[in-house]
Amino acid sequence: KNQVEQSPQSLIILEGKNCTLQCNYTVSPFSNLRWYKQDTGRGPVSLTIMTFSENTKSNGRYTATLDADTKQSSLHITASQLSDSASYICVVSVGAGSYQLTFGKGTKLSVIP
């Protein structure tokens, strides 16, 4: 069964600090891995998308890494801001069809002053 596991479930950090969120997946065949940010009461917004051949991708203060051999990904947030408070969702695309996405449950990040 295709699964995406994220850790930690929730995280509280001080403004200005860095943090790393983890994602492990058991999805086959793998097509690409995405990280989304979901603010409370809003839809998910794409942060990064990585294919099998990419092992890192950045979007501003967000840097995602991918190790396709160990089936692990991480999202590193640098110099956190209060606006980074949100749920971060790891999503893996299965095969060639974009409708075959497996979503993680998300990590809820709270940045406090």
Partner 1 sequence: NAGVTQTPKFRVLKTGQSMTLLCAQDMNHEYMYWYRQDPGMGLRLIHYSVGEGTTAKGEVPDGYNVSRLKKQNFLLGLESAAPSQTSVYFCASSYQDYGYTFGSGTRLTVV
Which residues contact partner 1 by CB under 8 A? Answer: 4, 31-32, 34, 41-46, 49, 89, 93, 96-99, 101-106
User: Which C-beta is closer to partner 1: that of 86 or that of 106?
Assistant: 106
Is the Cα dihedral 66, 75, 51, 34 positive or negative? positive
Question: What's the min distance (Å) between Cβ of 93 and partner 1?
Answer: 6
Task: Give dist(CA 109, CA 112) in Å, integer.
Answer: 10
Cβ proximity to partner 1: between 1 and 70 the closer is 1
Cβ 103 to partner 1, closest distance in Å? 3
**Which residue(s) pair with 36 in the sheet?**
46, 89
30 in helix, strand or coil? strand
